[in-house]
Structure 1
Amino acid sequence: MAKRRKVGNLLALAVLSTVVQRPMHPYEMASLLRSRGKEDDMEIKWGSLYTVVRNLVKHGFLQVADTAREGARPERTVYRITDAGRAELVDWVRELVSTPQPEHPKFKAGLSVLAILSPEETAALLRHRLEALERATVALRTSLARDAADVPRLFLIEDEYELAVRDAESAWLRTLLGELADGTFPDLALWRQWHATGEMPGELADLAERGSTD
């Protein structure tokens, strides 16, 4: 079971993983995280960066290393990671890598209420998704192959995972589209009946009611 973190925003994880290299001020943290494409790896709300940094300081994971002013520019505070921050970073990464946790991707949310669309519209939309997904996968595969020539694999492992996930989704989508096309998808007739009549067939209504009370 996932621990309740004192600062649970994933941006805090990104900040700690950056500051562990050397002390830096928040603007520099953001610049490095953006240059590394961290927003592709986790949901990041950049507007909350300073709040996250303050909370990390509050809980003893960061501390002020230096405060400086250059000319008329605003004062910049440089932060360093503490021993507690290093321990939190290591523990957090261990948890994320070792412990499966519930995730709620938007695609899964859409699939959970898919019956609201007709089988024909569903197939058209899934074909559109598959085409877009495969274009993005080609781009990622090309980028990964290019970067592999200069970047250690250790720093590309998240892209390898993303590629594997996309390949698996594409394979699943092709199978589902095949079932919708050749009529082997279970209960396809009931699904079509629902959209032809505007009323949920009794068999599906019973299942829906049973699911709501289990």
Structure 2
Amino acid sequence: MSATRMLVLGVVKLVGEAHGYQVRRELQSWSADQWANVQPGSIYHALKTLAKDELIEAVGTEESDEGPARTTYKITAAGEHELQDLLGQALANAGASNDQLSASVALLNLIPRKQAVVLLKHRLAGLEGQVAPTRYGVTSFPEMGKPAHVSELFRLWLVHLEGQVRWTQDLIDRLESGQYELPE
């Protein structure tokens, strides 16, 4: 799953109708180039691929004083379904990459509140299931005849994992208390 694909679909949905430059500006305003490595070329490539896959469709062309004409797109029903699938996978999967999770959080307002909570609870269960084996790795790795300093990797993973568990539970709590504007 590509975070860029999810973000481009999400921005087209949020804006209603958008051309590549609008999508690019919006994602730049979110600093997506830093946390999801979304580059201008990948945005335009995603738009072309999404149109080819019939997840967005061209609805017009705008002339531009700054360059070539700009094709405007809107999301299709298939694109809506794909976006919901991508968001659901990223929010529920404890193994989702940081850029996928970040993209899904940036687009959280496209998911009904109750659904977001269910997805995040699934993620939380997956994360919590990884804590004990990771803790075991911290203490047992040297006993397996491996260099003792390699256990530092397990410590690093444990700290990241515990942070993700805490953040996920806190986000669930915030959503359940009604914070943020999400569809009901």
Please, what TM-score do these two structures have when normalized by structure 1?
0.44
Q: Rg: which structure is higher?
A: 1
Please, what TM-score do these two structures have when normalized by structure 2?
0.50
